[in-house]
Amino acid sequence: MQLPKDLKYTKEHEWARIEGSTITVGITDYAQDKLGDIVFIELGETGTQLKQGDKLGTVESVKSVSDVFTPLSGSIKEVNKEVIDHPELINKDPYNKAWMVRLSADPKGSMNSEMAKLLDADAYEKYCKEAD
């Protein structure tokens, strides 16, 4: 299982890369492995305001349909069209080419208190091992 150390993780198996006020979001290698072959993705629209834990889309695999939740509050500033057109990218490269959305952090939000609810790579790895 790949777990980049520079990302934050949720217990719902999303990851967040924070670069200034931009938050890039996707699902983890663990999630894509459990889902199996991903065949369809539906994501929110640009401009949509989301609070931490809100549903931002769905991922459909040959096994099931799963909701994707936002790890941090913000508004969708970019949707990865490539991953919508080629959802199988998630199975191949969940942390780079297969990012799902980029959010603009809520300027009035409490990103620091929200980040405290996320897991680092070591804590997420432990969480996944306990779940198996």
| pLDDT tens per residue across span 80-99 | 999 999 999 999 999 999 99
Q: Is residue 56 part of a domain?
A: yes
Residues of the chain under the 50 pLDDT cut: none
pLDDT for position 132? 79
Q: Which residue has the tokens 């719902």?
A: 12
pLDDT for position 108? 64
Q: Is residue 117 part of a domain?
A: no
**3-state DSSP call for residue 61?**
strand
Q: Is residue 132 part of a domain?
A: no
Q: Is residue 122 part of a domain?
A: no
Taken as a whole, the chain contains a residue count of: 132
| pTM of this structure | 0.93
Q: Is residue 64 part of a domain?
A: yes
pLDDT for position 44? 92
Is-contact 26 68, C-beta < 8 A?
no
Q: Is residue 116 part of a domain?
A: no
Total domains in the fold of the chain: 1
Strands, E assignment, 4-127: 8-9, 14-19, 22-27, 38-43, 49-50, 55-61, 65-69, 74-79, 101-105
pLDDT for position 111? 75
> Which domain, by its residues, includes 17?
8-109
pLDDT for position 3? 92
